[in-house]
Amino acid sequence: MSKPENSSTTADLQRMEAVDAHDTAGSSSVFEKDSLWYFHNSAGEQVGPFRYASEAQSNLERLLNSIRDTVSGKQD
């Protein structure tokens, strides 16, 4: 059974709150390790490596936007 298009699960709402907290805190989740750049996804998994901090940041932003779109019911 599929969920209604605009309904949100508790997990979706918690993810959205985490995204909002990240945005408002202004802290960066991008970090450097052994001259390569990474970030952690919502499951705590390390994502990367990226050669540049800007590349890691743009991929993190893409992930956050994807989560926002999923929670708000938008799809590509």
The two tokens of residue 70 are 């999923």
5 falls within a domain? no
CA distance 17 to 33: 28
The two tokens of residue 33 are 């390790």
Strand partners, 36: 33
- Provide, rounded to the nearest whole percent, the portion of the chain with pLDDT above 90: 45
Mean pLDDT of 11-24: 50
20 falls within a domain? yes
39: domain range? Answer: 10-72
Average pLDDT of the chain, as a whole number: 76
61 falls within a domain? yes
Instruction: Indicate the number of domains in the chain.
Output: 1
Overall size of the chain counted in residues: 76
CA distance 35 to 43: 24
pLDDT at res. 73: 85
E-strand spans in 6-67?
Answer: 31-33, 36-40, 46-50
Q: Could you report the per-residue pLDDT of 31-62, keeping only the tens digit for each?
A: 999 999 999 988 889 999 999 999 999 999 99
40 falls within a domain? yes
